[in-house]
Amino acid sequence: MSPILFGSICGVAFGTLAVLLMLPMSFSDKRTALSAAFASRFAIGFIVPATHLPMPMPLAGAMVGLLVSFPDAIVTKAYAPILIIGTGGGGVIGYLSGVFAA
């Protein structure tokens, strides 16, 4: 499967998962928070399969997930959940990219 198609699928899946995890939470502007979470996680899913770094794909994915998640963590001051989910999701997508989008 092409990296762009696989990245699009992973981006939609990871973004949807992030939104579902956040639905029970309360925010002053819930629509904006959910949209931002979807966009950030979609970016991770889309970028990881297209990344070619000189390291194993799970590690490259985790690094992309960490870097994309870091600005959100700074703004919200919710470092642990945002960085853990972003880094872990990036690593999983990196692994899956190595298997299905190589």
Residues 61-101: pLDDT tens digits?
Answer: 999 999 999 999 999 898 999 999 999 999 999 999 999 98
Identify the band that residue 26 occupies on the pLDDT scale cut at 50, 70 and 90. confident
Identity of the amino acid at 58:
P
Confidence label for 27 from pLDDT (cuts 50, 70 and 90)? confident
- Condensed to tens digits (0 to 9), the pLDDT of residues 29-58 reads 999 999 999 999 999 999 999 999 999 999
What is the domain extent for residue 54? 3-100
Q: Specify the pLDDT at position 64.
A: 97
Q: How far apart are CA 102 and CA 98, in angstroms?
A: 5
pTM of the model: 0.92
- Arithmetic mean of pLDDT over the chain: 94
- CA separation, residue 53 to residues 76, 82, 87 (Å): 29, 23, 16
Number of H helices, E strands in the chain: 4, 0
* Cα–Cα distance measured from residue 56 to residue 20, given in angstroms and rounded to the nearest whole number: 29
Count: domains in the chain: 1
